[in-house]
């Protein structure tokens, strides 16, 4: 067990606070890590992106290929300045182009997601991950 130094005693203590640094902890991919800086506005996004798959929404339905719509990408980029999020590469691309490399990278990442998903998801041709991979032409 770590002993707290005199300077740490001035920080807030309690659940969600790293006892060694006094900074809030954030959950990343199921693991709790320290952010190194105090959280802003209680750790919540001020304008969260609406997660809807209805007509005109930010996310595509599973039947239409899953993933984000162009409108959803615009909304995300407006809420997160400096973001480089882009829509899926769905058209024909030249070998070695930036778009081809994005597709290759996505296909490699999503293959890992598919491999680590449940057997039900892996074997379902209409699961969101399979539909998204089909849309990206993986």
Region 53-71: mean pLDDT is 82
Q: What is the pLDDT of residues 31-55, one digit of tens each?
A: 555 555 554 555 555 556 666 666 6
Q: What is the pLDDT of residue 54?
A: 67
* pLDDT for residue 8 is more than 50: no
- Tell if the pTM clears 0.75, that is, is over it: no
Higher pLDDT, 42 or 24: 24
Of 30-39, 85-94, 100-109, the least confident: 30-39
Contacts with 33 (C-beta within 8 Å, 6 or more apart), sequence order: 25, 26, 27
- Cα of 97 vs its chain's centroid, Å: 25
Q: How many residues does the chain have?
A: 138
3 state SS of 16: coil
Note whether 99 and 92 are within 8 A (CB): no
């Amino acid at each position: 067990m770590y002993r707290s130094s005199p300077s740490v005693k001035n920080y807030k203590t309690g659940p969600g606070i790293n006892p060694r640094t006094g900074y809030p902890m954030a959950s990343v991919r199921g693991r709790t890590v320290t952010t190194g800086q105090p959280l802003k506005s209680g750790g919540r996004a001020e304008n969260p992106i609406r997660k809807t798959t209805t007509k005109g929404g930010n996310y595509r339905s599973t039947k239409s290929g899953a993933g984000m719509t162009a409108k959803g990408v615009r909304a995300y980029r407006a809420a997160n300045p400096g973001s480089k999020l882009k829509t899926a590469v769905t058209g024909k691309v030249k070998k070695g182009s930036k778009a081809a490399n994005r597709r290759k990278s996505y296909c490699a990442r999503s293959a890992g997601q598919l491999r680590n998903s449940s057997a039900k998801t892996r074997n379902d041709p209409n699961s969101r991950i399979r539909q998204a991979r089909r849309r990206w032409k993986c």
